[in-house]
């Protein structure tokens, strides 16, 4: 149950702020039941379904209707399904509402009142799902778990939840615990189907949950529904339907919907999903694609259109990561000083010449080639990583003494007062004099610039060095739209569409093995890099990756 009062973005609606309750449209409930395979052509009396936060009973009512139909099709009485449905809720009023709604549905379908009363009494109970100690297993778990931040509940309760749910780390929302508890209670082959905020797939607090999913479960279907009227009230919660199964990972279906997605479009999606011969499907209401697998780690899962995600997954399966210790390829960030006003200078006489290290700034790489630099790092580090002895450098000592108040006021200096003139980062002597590709942090597009070994990068620049790549060849490859697609799938996008080209995102790029690129292609990549020819780089890259076109 998504809580409009705790969502991010858009206009919130104050509903049940304390318990995170927003209820689900019936057609969305039916879609989820279809996706997990809970249909009346099966003998549903033999399958156990759980709704761990039943709210007003939307999922239980729909499940009871299907169960009732299944019993009639298989010649069974409703009492044969006494162990088929289960629901819990923290609120007694919700337990009562769900019990009444399910009872009314079964009575309307003609079942005996006493039989209905007997089975429904055992189906719905008052409990806190996250703290329950019972370990019953289920074939199907469905629902709309609460979306409530831990800081919005009491410290005592939040601490209890964290102890009970190991994936609730950092600023996790309550729904993370519902995913964990539900997954652990699935039988082999059992499926979970939730409609819930999808932030856990990409942010830091979802890391442990992603690890749990990829360690023993399959991502079967993800339907992103950010603009869909999926709830009975208007909320802004970035919801997605996620179907996970206790099974080995196989193909995965992803869909991205528009505001036109409704019951009719959902039926079209289900029809396409059952057609194993089709890999992609596009309609005004949604795009969908079938992927060969899923992203098998706890790092943030990429975002993008289904066809783009399918392309990224295919490339991920076939090509190694850009950063490869075996190949000697490393991604890093330039030096952070903690006091740029002191450590960066254009004055060549403030210290001894061997204490002035030419440094590359963002302004130096704007055009795509290194301009004439005029900035130096006043360098307090020896090549072996130790701090210099100021007694050996009188000009340097005098310079730092003039700025001692500013330098000693830094947190890092207060922690190590005897090393008060150190920068936050050490100078990495192995970078000095070495060829490297430099990347400014914030740009619209990947912007690799070659430094032949004359400059040291500032912390607003990221770098790539390699023992195996000709960096002009790699630079050409990184100008391509395929390299750009990888960063777009993972990176934080700022206001106006600007991307953060940070090391963690550059490391996500997949590249061919350098030795697999022909001499002709290598020369062409050098040429397009020299010309800053992105279109030419993209044509070569698509051939090397075996991609006919870049999926939108």
Taking only the tens of pLDDT, the chain with its 552 residues reads: 433 333 222 222 223 434 445 567 899 999 999 999 999 999 999 999 999 999 989 999 999 999 999 999 999 999 999 999 999 999 999 999 999 999 999 999 999 999 999 999 999 999 999 998 888 999 999 999 988 878 778 889 999 999 999 999 888 889 999 999 999 999 999 999 999 988 899 888 899 999 999 999 999 999 998 888 766 554 446 789 999 999 999 999 999 998 899 999 999 999 999 987 788 898 999 999 998 899 887 888 888 888 888 888 889 889 999 998 887 999 999 999 999 999 999 999 999 999 999 999 999 998 888 877 889 999 999 999 999 999 999 999 999 999 999 999 998 899 999 999 999 999 998 898 899 999 998 888 899 999 999 999 999 999 999 999 999 999 999 999 999 999 888 876 666 667 778 888 899 899 999 999 999 999 999 999 999 999 999 999 999 999 877 766
Q: What whole-number distance in Å separates Cα of residue 121 and Cα of residue 326?
A: 62
Inter-axis angle of helices 58-73 and 92-108, to 10 degrees?
30
Cross-strand partners of 499? 443, 493
- CA dist 423 and 334 (Å) reads 12
CA distance linking residue 243 with residue 250, whole number of Å: 13
- Paired strand residues for 324: 329
Q: Which residue has the tokens 């399959």?
A: 218
Ramachandran angles phi, psi of 438, nearest 5°: -110, 145
Query: Which two structure tokens, joined as six digits, stand for 309?
Result: 């995600």
> To 10 degrees, the CA torsion angle through 82, 88, 91, 93?
-20
Which pair of structure tokens corresponds to residue 383? 């090549």
Q: Which residue do the tokens 């990347």 mark?
A: 439
R_g over Cα of the chain: 29
Write down the pTM of the prediction.
Answer: 0.75
236 phi, psi to nearest 5 deg: -120, 95
545, two tokens: 């990756």
Length of the chain: 552
């Amino acid at each position: 149950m998504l809580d409009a009062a705790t969502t991010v973005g858009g206009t919130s609606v104050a509903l049940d702020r304390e318990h995170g309750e927003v209820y689900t449209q019936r057609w969305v409930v039916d879609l989820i039941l279809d996706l997990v395979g809970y249909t009346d052509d099966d003998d549903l009396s033999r399958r156990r379904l759980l709704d761990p936060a039943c709210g007003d009973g939307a999922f239980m009512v729909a499940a009871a209707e299907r169960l009732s139909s299944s019993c009639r099709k298989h010649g069974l009485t409703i009492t044969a399904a006494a162990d088929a449905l289960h629901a819990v809720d923290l609120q007694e009023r919700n337990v009562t509402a769900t019990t009444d709604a399910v009872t009314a549905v079964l009575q309307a379908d003609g079942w005996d009142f006493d039989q209905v009363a007997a089975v429904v009494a055992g189906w719905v109970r008052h409990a806190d799902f996250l703290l329950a100690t019972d370990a019953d297993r289920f074939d199907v778990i469905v629902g709309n778990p609460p979306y409530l931040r831990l800081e919005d509940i009491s410290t005592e309760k939040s601490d209890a939840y964290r102890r009970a749910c190991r994936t609730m780390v950092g600023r996790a929302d309550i729904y993370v615990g519902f995913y964990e508890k539900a997954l652990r209670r699935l039988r082999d082959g059992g499926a979970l189907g939730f409609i819930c905020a999808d932030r856990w797939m990409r942010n830091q607090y979802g890391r442990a949950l992603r690890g749990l999913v990829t360690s023993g479960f399959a991502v079967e279907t993800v339907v992103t529904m950010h603009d869909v009227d999926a709830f009975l009230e208007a909320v802004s919660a970035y919801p997605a339907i996620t179907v996970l199964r206790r099974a080995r990972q196989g193909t995965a279906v992803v869909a991205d919907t528009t505001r036109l997605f409704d019951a009719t479009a959902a039926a079209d999606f289900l029809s396409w999903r059952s057609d194993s011969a089709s890999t992609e499907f596009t309609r005004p209401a949604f795009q969908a694609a079938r992927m060969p697998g899923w992203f098998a780690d706890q790092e943030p899962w990429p975002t993008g259109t289904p066809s783009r995600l399918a392309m990224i997954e295919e490339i991920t399966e076939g090509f190694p990561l850009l950063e490869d210790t075996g190949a000697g390829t490393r991604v890093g960030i330039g030096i952070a000083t903690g006091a740029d006003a002191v450590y960066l200078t254009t004055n060549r006489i403030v210290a001894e010449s061997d204490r002035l290290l030419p440094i590359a700034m963002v302004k130096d790489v704007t055009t795509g080639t290194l301009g004439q630099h005029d900035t130096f790092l006043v360098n307090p580090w020896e090549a072996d990583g130790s701090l210099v002895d100021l007694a050996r450098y009188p000009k340097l000592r005098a310079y730092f003494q003039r700025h001692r108040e500013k330098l000693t006021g830094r947190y890092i200096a207060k922690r190590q007062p005897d090393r008060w003139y150190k920068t936050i980062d050490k100078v990495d002597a192995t970078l000095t004099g070495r060829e490297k590709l430099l990347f400014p942090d914030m740009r619209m597009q990947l912007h690799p610039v070659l430094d032949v070994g004359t400059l040291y990068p500032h912390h607003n620049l990221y770098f790539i060095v390699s023992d195996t790549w000709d960096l002009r060849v790699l630079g050409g490859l990184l100008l391509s739209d395929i390299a750009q697609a990888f960063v777009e799938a993972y990176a934080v996008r700022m206001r106006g569409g600007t991307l953060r080209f940070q090391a963690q995102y550059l490391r996500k790029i997949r590249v061919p093995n350098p030795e697999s690129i022909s001499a002709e292609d290598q020369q062409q990549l050098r040429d397009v890099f020299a010309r800053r020819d992105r279109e030419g780089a993209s044509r070569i890259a698509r051939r090397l990756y075996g991609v006919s076109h870049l999926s939108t």
